[in-house]
Every structure is written in C-alpha cells, then in structure tokens.
Amino acid sequence: MTDSVLARHAVRSFKQDKLTSEEVDQLISAFQAAPCGMGQADVTQAVVIESDDMLQRFEKSVNDAAYGAPLLFVIATKADSQFGERNASVAAENVMVEATRLGLGSVYVMSAAMALQKDPDLIADLGIDDGYTPQVVVPVGHATEEIAANDRSDRYKVMRR
C-alpha cells in the first residue's frame, strides 16, 4: 500500500497560501484517473475553484463548510446516474490521496455539496451542467498544523474465507 493512502487524513484548517499551477494540474490528473462505473465517465464532472471571489461566494453559500481552503474540488454527477455518487466518491479519494502525496491537506465534505444543491444560481455560475448535482466538495490546501494520521489498520470488520 502506498504511503499516501496510509498518511491521508482529514484536514479542516488551511493556510491561505495558493497552490501552484503544477500542484493543481496534478490534482486534476488524479481526478481524471479515477475509475468510473461501467466506463461512464460522462456522468461525472468537477469544478476547481481557485479565485478569491468565487471561494468567498462559495463559503457564504455553504455556511463556511469548506473550511476556508484556498482550492476546492466540487464534484458533480448526472442526477439520473446509478453510478454518479459512487464515481464522485472514488474521484474525491483520488484527489485526496494525490493531495497527501503532494504534502497538502484535504477533507471529504458532503455537507458543503448538500448546501450547494440549494443554490441554483451559484451552481450555474460555477458552470455545472444542467442535470448534474453536486455530490462532494474536497477542500485542498496547506494544513495550518501537522497532524499525524491515526492508525487505521484495524478499523473495519474484515472476513477472509
């Protein structure tokens, strides 16, 4: 297993330092590499929010549920897709693991996506296609403090037969 998978943990406090263009490109590549149900890549899309104006508007709309991160991945899926929510989660995990590899923090936030669903004007201004629903938001940035990942080697019940 890779170090990034084991080291990844939720970060909810971010420095305001912007990510480099190269870091953003690598996160986008990780999103693009995510598996998708039945090869239906057309049911998933993302908006990467970097501009200060849009970040402030987003935070206001979602009651600060994006933790003031300097970059947000808003992952949306076709509302009628049986694979959409799963695709969004897998894509979010790819982004979060890549963020960890880059020395960045991230967190999976459904509450921000749920709040965004109630703001059709912002959804339109973000460029999310009609018929798509925001499913998850991944805030990304430099953590304000280093936090060691908890040992998660024995969290779930696993049966081997």
The CATH number for 38's domain is 3.40.109.10
In a domain, 112, yes or no: yes
Residue by residue, what is the 3-state secondary structure of 94-127?
Answer: HHHHHHHHCCCEECCEHHHHHHHCCCHHHHHHHC
Helix axes 21-32, 84-101, angle to 10 degrees: 140
- What pLDDT sits at residue 91? 98
- 77, part of any domain: yes
Task: For residue range 115-131, list pLDDT tens digits in order.
Answer: 999 999 999 999 999 99
What local confidence, expressed as pLDDT, does residue 7 receive? 84
Query: What does the pLDDT read at residue 118?
Result: 98
| Cβ neighbours of residue 77 closer than 8 Å, sequence gap 6 or more | 43, 44, 45, 83, 84, 85, 87, 88, 132, 133, 135
- 105 phi and psi angles, rounded to 5 deg: -100, 160
The answer as to whether 52 is a domain residue is yes
Burial of 20 (0-12, 13-18, 19+ CB in 10 A): exposed
pLDDT at res. 155 = 86
pLDDT of residue 152: 79
Q: What is the pLDDT of residue 2?
A: 63
Query: Would 148 be classed as within a structural domain?
Result: no
- Asked, for residue 65, whether it belongs to a domain, the answer is yes
Q: What residue numbers bound the domain in which 130 lies?
A: 3-141
| pLDDT value at residue 5 | 86
So what's the pLDDT on residue 160? 93
Beta bridge partners of 71: 140
Q: Is residue 51 part of a domain?
A: yes
Q: What is the pLDDT of residue 18?
A: 98
Q: Is 118 a domain residue?
A: yes
Query: Is-contact 134 101, C-beta < 8 A?
Result: no
Asked if residue 149 belongs to a domain, the reply is no
* pLDDT for the residue numbered 39: 84
pLDDT at 96: 98
Query: Which residues of the chain carry a pLDDT beneath 70?
Result: 1-2
Give the model's pLDDT for residue 51. 98
DSSP string, 127-143: TPPTTEEEEEEEEEE-B
Phi, psi of 61, rounded to the nearest 5 degrees: -65, -35
**The whole model's pTM is what?**
0.94
Please state the domain count of the chain. 1
